[in-house]
Amino acid sequence: MKSLKLFSFGLVAFSLMTYACGGGSQESSQSSTTSSAPAQETKVSLEDKYKDDPVFITGSAKAKEAGCTACHMVERKVVGPSYADVAEKYENTPENVALLTDHVINGNVGNWGEIQMPSHPHLERADVEDVIKYVLLLKR
Ligand code: HEC
């Protein structure tokens, strides 16, 4: 008898609570999901975006090997322009791959400022081309 009374009291209290809080809590959880979604999208880096592409895998490994990473980063200008800026400036065409491969092998200055990119005569042309294809893949 005593336990039945307690049970029914609990039931009333519970239903009052859900009645009082139901509407409000649903609204706040909805607004928090919509505001966090765009923030997550901008966090995806270009490396994450293209990391499964075979052009990316081959090219980024060869860029490290050739020492391009000393002066270039994917999304930030260091000594040379970021790869993302280069990809924005040049269409990904065979002509531009050939042109930029020449600039890397022979060295270049003036397209991005006063600092000169040194020549890289010791690199295989095919390897440089692989790196350039990877650079031009990195469109934002
Ligand atoms: C010692 C620093 C340095 C190294 C090492 C270097 N670069 Fe550069 N790179 C630069 C600079 C500085 C520029 C800007 C040259 C200019 O203004 O034309 C540049 C420009 C470029 C460009 C754009 C060229 C253009 O005509 O717009 C590409 C593509 C590039 N580098 C790729 C590479 C690759 C691939 C490697 C590795 C083989 C490499 N760089 C190594 C400093 C470097």
User: pLDDT value at position 18?
Assistant: 52
Atom index in ligand 1 nearest the CA of residue 113 equals: 17
* pTM assigned to the model: 0.77
More confident residue, 117 or 37: 117
What is the number of structural domains in the chain?
2
Asked whether residue 53 falls in the same domain as residue 75, the answer is yes
Q: What is the pLDDT of residue 29?
A: 47
Separation CA 115–CA 123 (nearest Å): 21
More confident residue, 78 or 19: 78
32 with 101, same domain: the answer is: no
Tokens 């790869």 correspond to what residue? Answer: 83
Rounded average pLDDT over 8-17: 55
Averaged pLDDT of the chain: 84
Q: 55 and 32 share a domain?
A: no
Query: Candidates 58, 72, 120: which one to mutate for ligand 1, based on the most atoms within 8 Å of Cβ?
Result: 72
Q: What is the mean pLDDT of residues 30-48?
A: 64
Same domain as 113, residue 70: yes
d(CA 25, CA 28): 5
Same-domain status, 57 and 113: yes
117 carries a ligand binding annotation: yes
- Say which CATH number the domain at 105 has: 1.10.760.10
Q: Tell me which residue has its CA closest to atom 38 in ligand 1.
A: 68
Q: What is the pLDDT of residues 85-99, one digit of tens each?
A: 999 999 999 999 999
* 35 and 51 belong to one structural domain: no
Same domain, 69 and 38: no
Which domain range does residue 75 map to?
46-137
